[in-house]
Structure 1
Amino acid sequence: MQKATGLPAGWEVRHSNSKNLPYYFNPQTKESRWEPPSETDSETLKHYMGQYHTANLRQDGAAQQNLDGKIRCAHLLVKHRDSRRPASWRQAQITRSKDEAMGIIQGYDQSIRSGSTSLGDLAVTESDCPSARKRGDLGFFGKGDMQKEFEEASFALKPGEVSKVIESASGLHIIERLE
């Protein structure tokens, strides 16, 4: 029995070995994409991805990498219609305003700061970044690897700290420094 993904006919979820993230593929047309195709049932996809494609965090490759000067962060991203790419794995076209996105992310921020949930738990179902499948974990990165505003906020945090809402060309973020 095939699980309901919410994707249009002909589309399936596959897993990228290089990025360790799921993506969307249509075997008939050979089209692949990180964002779901239009006409996707976003709610059904959100529940499917949360249940079947939330990766366990793996530390296995970390020891082989040169981590000098690098940090590891997770984030929760809320995009809006003026974001650099107003689409995500959750929604083929994001139409909310920046003010609406700010209201949403401020609610998430309050839930995280009150201790009623964690950034990672929220990211799995609510983040507009493909890293949602890894509880928002972006892995290790160094200076120059991320957008300026994101990088500055990330490097200003100590391990375990959570940022205020940060704005970048991608949208609105809450960042948690993991290492």
Structure 2
Amino acid sequence: MSSAETGLPDGWEVRRSNTKNLPYYFHAVTKDSRWEPPAGTDPEMLKTYMADNHSSKGVAPAAFAPTEGKIRCAHLLVKHRDSRRPASWREPKITRSVEDARQMIGSYQAQIQAHEAGTGQPNAKSLSELATTESDCSSARKGGDLGFFGKGDMQKEFEQAAFNLAKGEVSGVVETASGVHLIQRLE
């Protein structure tokens, strides 16, 4: 895999963690490794490469076994400059306003609603499809899947919305210190 293919700076490559079964970034010369892409990454090229080569399709989630009192959700996160950590695998420094993030999540929400309605619109996509390429959370590698979690494991606003969803249901827009979310309850 070349930097022309991945959008990563020279010397960097994408590898898969044996323990977490997730992709990470590795520099063969310096032996530096990280979960977030290094500075100088072309986010559009990386987004395309990750969607083509590291999506969750066919990956058996080992640590996704249900436990009493826990639910499983996926989400799509759009961060903004006032987010708790305004950086992601897509963008090393996020500068968009909270209003821009709300507009983006609104656009994604419309695409998800069109997908669920089965309208056949060309831009209709599932939350998982959109999360894989558009989410600012590292869970994008798994289609936004966060696995199972219980009460007290997530930020209050996120937890409240998630636990109020029926299986398969997608939330409205949820704002937390991390950014703006859409959440889908999987189990």
TM over 0.5, yes or no? yes
TM-score class, shorter: over 0.9
- How far apart are the structure 2 equivalents of 1:18 and 1:99? 38
- Asked if structure 2 preserves the Cα contact closer than 8 Å seen for 1:38 and 1:93, the reply is no
Partners of 1:159 and 1:94 lie apart in 2 by 32
SS at match of 1:4: helix
Q: Residue 44 of structure 2 aligns to a residue in which SS?
A: helix
Counterpart in the other structure of 1:16: 17
Spell out, residue by residue over 1:36-92, the C-alpha distance to the aligned partner (whole angstroms, 9 max, x if none): 111111111000000011123525554xx5610010000000011111111111111
The amino acid across from 1:16 in the alignment is S
Moved more, 137-146 or 29-38: 29-38
1:118 aligns with 2:120: no
Question: Over the residues paired in the alignment, what is the CA RMSD in angstroms?
Answer: 1.6
Q: Which residue of 2 aligns with 1:41?
A: 42
Deviates more, 1:85-94 or 1:14-23: 14-23
Most deviating of 162-171 and 48-57:
48-57
Structure 2 gaps of 5+ residues are 116-123
Residues 18 and 168 (structure 1), Cα distance of their counterparts in 2 relative to 1, 3 Å cut: farther
2:121 counterpart residue number: none
Task: Tell me the TM-score normalised to structure 1 length.
Answer: 0.92
Name the counterpart of 2:67.
Answer: 67
Whole-angstrom CA distance in 1 between matches of 2:102 and 2:19: 32
2: CA distance, partners of 1:96 / 1:21: 27
Change (3 A) 1:114 1:145: same
The CA distance in 2 between the partners of 1:135 and 1:54, in whole Å, is 7
Give 1:157-176 correspondences, 5 Å limit: 157-176=165-184
Q: 1:59 to 1:174 in 2, by over 3 A?
A: same
| Structure 2: distance between partners of 1:86 and 1:31 | 22
Number of aligned positions between the proteins = 177
Describe the SS at the equivalent of 1:143: coil
| 1:89 corresponding residue in structure 2 | 89
Q: Distance in 2 between matches of 1:162 and 1:102?
A: 16
Shift of 1:107: 0.6
SS at match of 1:72: strand
Counterpart of 2:143, as a letter, is R
Query: Does 2:138 correspond to 1:130?
Result: yes
Q: Deviations over 1:10-58 (max 9, x none)?
A: 1111222333321112232232222111111111100000001112352
Q: Is the 8 A contact 1:35 1:91 kept in 2?
A: no
- Unaligned runs of 5+ residues in structure 1 are none
